Amino acid sequence: MYAKRKFAVLASASLLSLGIAAQDTATRGSGQQPDTRASTADIEQVIADWKPKPRDVARTMLKKYGAPQEITEQRLVWHNNGPWKRTELINEEIDHRFPLPHKDMLLQVVNYQVPPDRFDELAQYDGSVIAERTRGELAARCDKEAANILALNLAHEIASGDRSVEDAKKAYTEQIIAMAKGESAPLTKKLNFQPMPDAGDPDQMTMAQATADQVKQLMKQKEQQKQKEQPKK
């Protein structure tokens, strides 16, 4: 009975997620907000057998931001919640030892264009800070939202050339200790930079337009031929 109930919750949540875009379009002009999210009780059914730490984090996020827009058996996703473009919580505990051993599972994303020559420095600073150039995103993954805010504030300073990797590591460590002691840790409170509205970098073409058109046509023909050769069901 429990398995059937959980499957029904997941199926319902999937249908709700698929309907969000259509309902958003229909209600955007009227100013009404579509009520498409699953209930907290339904989500509790989904996370009931999650690992303890991701389950605890899920409850914290639900209390702060309400139900997510996307729900699967192993993942919850919020869009445009608080300062974030996206928040993704997975039922996984990823080992991370900076600045002390802990588990990562909460990924939070902002629009941000990292200069290409700063990618190496960000990787040296924190392996759970993730920059994606094409989409124009910068993310941090930890077990607490405050730690993600801290990670991105310092990542911004590295990307801006205002702080070295070594200094950022030191500052991160000090702020985490202060937060644990209940002392002032201002870099954990809010983002100290404004996410960029359009930070994507589509890169540069390396072939002439005529050649690009020819290559795309050849690839299209190859795909069509492949589909013709597939056995019919």
Q: How far apart are CA 126 and CA 169, in angstroms?
A: 8
Structure tokens at 87: 């928040």
Contact between 26 and 88 under an 8 Å Cβ cutoff? The reply is no
Average pLDDT in the chain: 88
Q: How far apart are CA 201 and CA 203, in angstroms?
A: 5
Span 131-149, mean pLDDT? Answer: 97
pLDDT in tens, 148-192: 999 999 999 999 999 999 999 999 999 999 999 999 999 999 999
- Hey, which bits of the chain come out as E strands? 70-72, 75-79, 86-96, 102-111, 129-132, 137-142
- The strand pairing partners of 110, in sequence order, are 138
Span 122-146, mean pLDDT? Answer: 97
Of 8-12, 103-107, 146-150, minimum mean pLDDT range: 8-12
Q: According to the model, what pLDDT value does residue 229 have?
A: 87
What does each C-alpha distance from 10 to 5, 37, 38, 191 come to in angstroms? 9, 12, 9, 33
Structure tokens at 114: 């990292």
Percent share of the chain, pLDDT over 70: 84
